[in-house]
Structure 1
Amino acid sequence: MYRYDNHDQTLVEERVEQFRDQMRRYLEGKISDEEFLPLRVQNGLYVQRYAPMLRIAIPYGMLASYQLRKLGEIAARYDRGYGHFTTRTNLQLNWPKLEDVPDILAELATVQMHAIQTSGNDIRNTTTDQFSGIAGDEEVDPRPWCELIRQWSTFHPEFFYLPRKFKIAVTGASDDRAAIQVHDVGLRLWRDDAGEVRVKVLVGGGLGRTPMIGETICEDLPWQHLLTYLEAIVRVYNQFGRRDNKFKARIKILTKALGVDEMRRRVEEEWAHLKDGPQTLNQQAIDEMASHFVEPPRREIDASDIESYEALRRNNRAFARFVTNNVTDHKVSGYKAVTLSLKRSSQSPGDVTSEQMAAIADLADDYSFGELRVTHEQNLVLTDVAVDQIEELWHKLDELGLANPTVGTLADLICCPGGDYCALANAKSIPVAQAIQERFESLDFLYDLGPLDLNISGCMNACGHHHVGHIGILGVDKKGEEYYQISLGGSQGNEASLGKILGPSFFREDVPGVIDKVLQVYVGERQPDETFIDTYRRIGLKPFKEFVYAA
């Protein structure tokens, strides 16, 4: 993974000291709340419902074991002994003291981490496929390109006060696991017949109050022009994006208002001033970035070890369940990627304790060359596990409460912190998630349902990405009371779609029963080998709505 050079380290350390001085002056009353607001959000610091919240950047979801260990130490020393992994692969601390934040940032800097541009109206953390570099369907490893985008966008002087936040996602695989169609800019890296990298560029996707699927603005951009083309897009947005209404300030609104053809024309016009300029990429730049993402020293796995692994899978039902849902194929024979589930009814989805962080860091050292990934679904991944070690790893994960064999099922739900923490939320999300997990805890039932995405958001900001859940749940406020709106048919993959609202909203205690009725329709209507989203797309919303709202 990428390691800071002296320039990076100096920049981050200087930023820490700058913010330390800003915090000191704020606490002394020399800076007003209004003046302090842009300073703190540029360093990932929010003021939530009950306490400050610090969002820590995890660029494109990659963590070294020593970084995770440090995050655990920070959570134990400065917070309440846990952290929360988000859908943008960052980590949030929900209870830090204001006066401690500069010290937290200083500690992060010792392990090449920071909180820069994790909030505010700027270019946020670029996200990608959690299986980048090891997926069998990958044409281009997106990690070097994500790092180029990170370096280009961090502290970019022209884009520090955009109309609203700006999010970029990148994939290099045929199966989109990065949800590129629902980002401000989505990038798909591919190779032409000559083996040259090309880039498909989508613009204007996003969720929130006005969800939209992105549209293709360039089908086959040569790789040399990636940064200049991105710069042209953000320049057009910065110039023409609305600043009079924050609910209409995202690039998706601008793209919709102009139309994709006019948006493309304006970008191309701006790009004419940038194309072939100093930010044009060359092979040396790509090679330098790629040198940080080298293949680990994997040992060769004997065929007998692979057969022993398969035999154990055939003969041990519990192990087979874990492998089916939590273990993913690898491009190298004899290796697998193992997903650690952070979903249990006893804790909020995406939460992990300081003790678990320390233990997972040890497991990364022992089983995955000291590296791991954070997923969009709020789980963790060890990407390079030899098959002759998976059984041993499975037992250790079970002892830590991280071997729940339900990844990709209804129980693997995405959930924002909601009204328990967030001052913007209309309703609580966590109790709904826990009630659903308790209602549908039968593993046999979950496996019979097959792949199913259930996403929960506590407000229209859609941090839980409810719009693209096969089943989406949105907390809404009605005259000071919490209600929940259900949508069906969302999807975030290659065939991305936005869910349709089922009908009138429900009381919190009714939500698990409503989900049960939705699933009854699915089970009754599905054809052999159909998933939930397949059945929904075939029969539509009407049968679900009629059954759920039947007298």
Structure 2
Amino acid sequence: MYRYDEFDAAFVAERNRQFRAQVERRIDGSLTEEEFRPLRLMNGLYLQLHAYMLRVAIPYGTLDSAKMRQLAYLAERWDKGYGHFTTRQNIQYNWPELRDVPDMLDALAEVGMHAIQTSGNTIRNVTADHFAGAAADEIADPRPVAELIRQWSTDHPEFQFLPRKFKIAVTGAPNDRAVTAAHDIGLRIVRNDAGEIGYAVLVGGGLGRTPMIGKVINGFVSQADLLPYLEAIVSVWNLLGRRDNKYKARIKITVHEHGIDAIREMVEARFAEVRPQFSGVDLELLRGIEAQFAAPAFRNAPTDAYDAARDADPVFRAWADTNLSAHRAPGYAIVEISLKAHGATPGDATAEQMRVMADLAERFGHDELRISHEQNVVLPHVHKSDLPELHAILRAHGLATANIGLVSDIIACPGMDYCALATARSIPIAQEIATRFDELKIEHEIGALKIKISGCINACGHHHVGHIGILGLDRAGVENYQITLGGDHTQDAALGERTGPGFSAEEIVPAIETIVTTYLSEREGPGETFLETYRRVGMGPFKAALYPAKGTSKDEARADAA
């Protein structure tokens, strides 16, 4: 794990000192809210529906026990006893008092954390595969290069006032768990014919009101060329990007308007100009960073206790089947801790739960944790012999829900419960769906199914790439929920297709149940996933079940009835 050096510590301390003075000026009235706004956004502070919200960066989703315990302390000392983990692998505190925020930032700095560039029109927190450094299918750990990008982009003098926010994701495996195709820049670690490590670079991905899948601008960029190539992309967009209309300011619109070939030509020209400035420096820095991400000392021990628990305890076996993934080291497993207990708020964790997870990481997990973009927590390195005891502790603290990847493992944005931009509720709908399928007791029969919910067109819940996506909108003062089917966030990324007219808050849960029931009747055996069935049969059967009058639309059905 990367540890702050003297420069990092001094940089963050100075930023915090500056922001403390700015907060004091806001409180005494020297700064208006409008004047304060760009200053607070540079430090991760939003003004939400009911209160300020502080978004803390968790670069590439990596924590240790000290950091997790400090996050618990912030939740207990300055918030309402919990935090909300987000789809950018960050954590949000929804109820801080403005006067307390500088103290919160100083407390974060004590453990090497900050809130810099978690908001504003700049390069945001760099995200990565939450199985980084542990996955059996990994080509290389993506976190060192994510840290390199973080250092390059933090306070970059040219990129602090971009046309809009800019997001970068990195994956180190062919199975993309970092949603790279839905980012402004997506990086996929690959090897060339000579076996050398490099990066396939995608640009122009993004969700929101105009969702687009990223396009490959370069199939192989070497490690030495990566930073200047990224600099070339962002600087080209910084000049071309639209500032007259914030809804058309993202790089996806720029790529769409100019075409990927024209953008590639401009980027290559800019790259030729900036490349000499980076000669040798980034690789030397990268090697130093890589040394801080060395694998822990894995132990060689029998797994008899794990095997016995699987045979004897069906509850443990169900949890192991859903919440464990293959590890690169023999005898180890990757553990996903669900923050989606049925009826709970997706992504929320109490201070007590954070401390429990910190203790488990320290005791069983080589002192490492990850936050996933799916709003769960990962212990990346756990020996199988420790899993029965770990599971028992998780159960005692409400953290052993066996639903990773299932219908109740829902991504949900805060929606109208917190967000000033939201047009509909997300959290209550997610809770109702999870509760309903828990009542039906068919989650494991359904199998892998990703539901994602957004409370407005900004798509913070990633609904466009959900197998089932739900978008909450306002229709003449009434919440209305549109449904999309067939989205995919992986290496085979695809945008979902809208089923038809939306549903009211009272109708949306029965509609989701109808979709799932249709899938179960259409699939070719339990081995065929929802996404596979949808790709085989298409929208037709689902649309017919949702809008039963001639399988068309609600409007047509109503017209027929009249």
* TM-score for both structures, normalised by structure 1: 0.98
Structure 1 equivalent of residue 42 of structure 2: 42
Structure 2 equivalent of residue 533 of structure 1: 531
2:105 matched to 1:105?
yes
Structure 2 equivalent of residue 394 of structure 1: 391
Structure 1 distance, partners of 2:223, 2:394, is 41
- 1:231-380 equivalence runs, <5 A: 231-278=231-278, 280-281=280-281, 283-301=283-301, 305-380=302-377
2:467 matched to 1:459?
no
Structure 2 distance, partners of 1:161, 1:134, is 36
Residue identity over aligned pairs, in percent, reads 52
Deviation of the 1:546 alpha carbon: 1.1
Which of 434, 437, 440 is residue 440 of structure 1 equivalent to? 437
SS of the residue 2:471 aligns to:
strand
Deviation of the 1:443 alpha carbon: 8.0
SS of the residue 2:273 aligns to:
coil
Deviation of the 1:346 alpha carbon: 4.0
Contact map agreement 2:164 2:250 (CA 8 A) in 1: yes
2:497 matched to 1:500?
yes
CA separation of 1:101 and 1:25: change in aligned 2, threshold 3 A:
same
Structure 2 equivalent of residue 407 of structure 1: 404
For 1:463-491, what per-residue CA distance to the aligned partner results, in whole angstroms no more than 9, with x for missing partners?
00000000001110011111111111100
* TM-score for both structures, normalised by structure 2: 0.96
Structure 2 distance, partners of 1:133, 1:408, is 21
Structure 2 equivalent of residue 71 of structure 1: 71
2:546 matched to 1:548?
yes
Structure 2 equivalent of residue 227 of structure 1: 227
Structure 1 equivalent of residue 192 of structure 2: 192
SS of the residue 2:100 aligns to:
helix
Deviation of the 1:283 alpha carbon: 4.3
Q: Which runs of 5+ in 1 are unaligned?
A: none
SS of the residue 1:35 aligns to:
helix
Structure 2 distance, partners of 1:487, 1:146, is 32
SS of the residue 2:164 aligns to:
coil
Structure 2 distance, partners of 1:43, 1:347, is 29
2:149 matched to 1:136?
no
Q: CA RMSD in A?
A: 1.1
Structure 2 distance, partners of 1:523, 1:345, is 22
278-287 vs 4-13, which moves further: 278-287
Q: Which runs of 5+ in 2 are unaligned?
A: 550-562
Contact map agreement 1:138 1:173 (CA 8 A) in 2: yes
Structure 2 equivalent of residue 60 of structure 1: 60
For 1:71-94, what per-residue CA distance to the aligned partner results, in whole angstroms no more than 9, with x for missing partners?
111111101000000000000000
* Aligned amino acid, residue 416 of structure 1: C
2:25 matched to 1:25?
yes
Contact map agreement 1:41 1:120 (CA 8 A) in 2: yes
Structure 2 equivalent of residue 182 of structure 1: 182
For 1:314-346, what per-residue CA distance to the aligned partner results, in whole angstroms no more than 9, with x for missing partners?
342211111111011110001111111100244
Structure 2 distance, partners of 1:25, 1:420, is 30
Contact map agreement 2:343 2:435 (CA 8 A) in 1: no
Deviation of the 1:190 alpha carbon: 1.2
* Aligned amino acid, residue 329 of structure 1: A
* Aligned amino acid, residue 423 of structure 2: N
2:431 matched to 1:430?
no
Deviation of the 1:295 alpha carbon: 1.5
Contact map agreement 2:298 2:329 (CA 8 A) in 1: no
* Aligned amino acid, residue 9 of structure 2: Q
191-200 vs 398-407, which moves further: 191-200
Deviation of the 1:520 alpha carbon: 1.2
Structure 1 equivalent of residue 413 of structure 2: 416
Contact map agreement 1:227 1:279 (CA 8 A) in 2: no
* Aligned amino acid, residue 414 of structure 1: I
Contact map agreement 2:342 2:438 (CA 8 A) in 1: no
- 1:482-497 equivalence runs, <5 A: 482-497=479-494
SS of the residue 2:274 aligns to:
coil
SS of the residue 1:221 aligns to:
strand
Structure 1 distance, partners of 2:409, 2:342, is 11
Deviation of the 1:311 alpha carbon: 3.8
Structure 2 distance, partners of 1:345, 1:405, is 10
Structure 2 distance, partners of 1:142, 1:462, is 25
Structure 1 equivalent of residue 553 of structure 2: none
CA separation of 1:165 and 1:283: change in aligned 2, threshold 3 A:
closer
Contact map agreement 1:345 1:433 (CA 8 A) in 2: no
* Aligned amino acid, residue 215 of structure 2: E
Structure 2 distance, partners of 1:165, 1:329, is 35
Structure 2 equivalent of residue 8 of structure 1: 8
Deviation of the 1:278 alpha carbon: 2.8
Deviation of the 1:276 alpha carbon: 3.1
Q: How many residues align?
A: 548
* Aligned amino acid, residue 28 of structure 1: D
For 1:239-290, what per-residue CA distance to the aligned partner results, in whole angstroms no more than 9, with x for missing partners?
0000011100000000000010001011111111012323655543222011
Structure 1 distance, partners of 2:134, 2:383, is 13
Deviation of the 1:307 alpha carbon: 4.1
SS of the residue 1:402 aligns to:
coil
SS of the residue 1:455 aligns to:
strand
Contact map agreement 1:56 1:114 (CA 8 A) in 2: yes
SS of the residue 1:53 aligns to:
strand
343-352 vs 369-378, which moves further: 343-352
SS of the residue 1:360 aligns to:
helix
Structure 1 equivalent of residue 555 of structure 2: none
